[in-house]
């Protein structure tokens, strides 16, 4: 009997290679986990739509952790849990960002992403399979009530990164999950909090969970897992708290680590 009952993995920079493809080794390793009684679920900053190809390829059946933990949703699209963007802060945040010349994207509870104007940096979101719909007004009642996550695509070196952290860091969750991926959510929304809810629902203990990740938004995930595996291309903060450091994502580090440490 295997020690683990659930494997949770991040997507970009961890499960997928640099071309956003699922390698054959990673696919085989995860399929073998499922065959051996270790369930697999995804924990990502992305929407359910953009990971459907992985869910289908691996025939995943469990609820998935999406949008940095703000939405737990089944492969069939049934929303089980949401942590919405604080209503009282929505307009202040949107107006502040736009007044400084930045265009945010807003993601709603159903996994759809919207913007008022396209910006060049949104290309990085499109490159990883997200779809962005342009609308006339992101300040309407619909968006105030239904938004779970706001993104401002930009580099960590951009002064706006620091500005947002300083101004909103105490009242909102500010998460960087990649080079251009900078997300702002409810303080209670995190991959770790979502995992906590999920394993309680499944009747699984923390010690029975193994997690894979590469970014700052995986720190909370690691805190709720029994075994923490970071790929070599991870942020240093994640490598520091990992139990195991696997090969890089583009070298099928996840698959290799599964055979070496989980299914040996």
Question: Residue 170 belongs to a domain with what CATH number?
Answer: 3.30.1240.10
The structure tokens 């065959």 sit at 35
- Whether 49 and 171 map to the same domain: the answer is no
Domain boundary among 186, 209, 230: 186
Domain boundary among 186, 219, 249: 186
Task: Note the pLDDT of residue 177.
Answer: 84
Structurally, the chain folds into a number of domains equal to 2
Nearest to 210 by CA among 2, 1, 6: 6
Q: For 129, which DSSP code?
A: T
Residue 176 lies in a domain: yes
Q: At what angle do helices 87-99 and 159-168 cross, to 10 degrees?
A: 150
Task: Note the pLDDT of residue 213.
Answer: 98
pTM of the prediction?
Answer: 0.93
Query: Which residues of the chain have a pLDDT value below 70?
Result: 1-2
Cβ(2)–Cβ(37) below 8 Å: yes
Domain boundary among 186, 221, 251: 186
Task: Note the pLDDT of residue 1.
Answer: 46
**Helical (H) or strand (E) element with 49:** helix 48-58
- Whether 194 and 254 map to the same domain: the answer is yes
Residue 68 lies in a domain: yes
Residue 222 lies in a domain: yes
Range of the domain at 122: 87-186
Residue 241 lies in a domain: yes
Task: Note the pLDDT of residue 264.
Answer: 84
3-state SS of the chain: helix, strand, coil percent to 5? 40, 20, 35
- Whether 22 and 94 map to the same domain: the answer is no
Residue 252 lies in a domain: yes
- Whether 120 and 96 map to the same domain: the answer is yes
- Whether 125 and 253 map to the same domain: the answer is no
- Whether 43 and 15 map to the same domain: the answer is yes
- Whether 116 and 174 map to the same domain: the answer is yes
- Whether 72 and 92 map to the same domain: the answer is no
Nearest to 6 by CA among 251, 194, 239: 194
Task: Note the pLDDT of residue 178.
Answer: 84
Residue 1 lies in a domain: no
Strands 227-231 and 209-213: parallel
């Amino acid at each position: 009997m295997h020690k683990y009952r659930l494997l949770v993995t991040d997507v970009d920079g961890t499960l997928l290679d640099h071309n956003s493809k699922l390698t054959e080794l990673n696919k085989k390793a995860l399929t073998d986990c499922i065959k051996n009684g270790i369930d697999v679920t995804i924990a990502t900053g992305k929407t359910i739509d953009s990971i459907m190809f992985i869910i289908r390829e691996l025939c995943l059946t469990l609820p998935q952790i999406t949008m940095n933990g703000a939405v737990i949703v089944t492969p069939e699209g049934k929303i089980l849990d949401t942590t919405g963007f604080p209503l009282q802060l929505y307009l202040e945040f949107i107006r502040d960002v736009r007044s400084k010349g930045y265009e945010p994207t807003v993601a709603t509870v159903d996994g759809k992403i919207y913007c008022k104007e396209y910006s060049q940096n949104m290309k990085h979101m499109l490159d990883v399979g997200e779809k962005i719909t342009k609308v006339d007004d992101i300040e309407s009642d619909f968006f105030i009530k239904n938004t779970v996550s706001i993104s401002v695509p930009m580099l960590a070196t951009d002064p706006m990164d620091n500005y947002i952290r300083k101004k909103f860091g105490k009242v909102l969750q500010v998460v960087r999950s990649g080079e251009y991926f900078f997300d702002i959510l409810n303080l209670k929304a995190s991959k770790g909090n979502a995992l906590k809810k999920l394993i309680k629902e499944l009747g699984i203990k923390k010690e029975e969970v193994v997690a894979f990740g590469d970014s700052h938004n995986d720190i909370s995930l690691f805190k709720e897992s029994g075994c923490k595996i970071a790929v070599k291309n991870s942020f240093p903060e994640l490598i520091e708290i990992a139990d195991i450091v696997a090969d890089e994502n583009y070298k099928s580090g996840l698959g290799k680590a599964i055979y070496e440490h989980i299914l040996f």
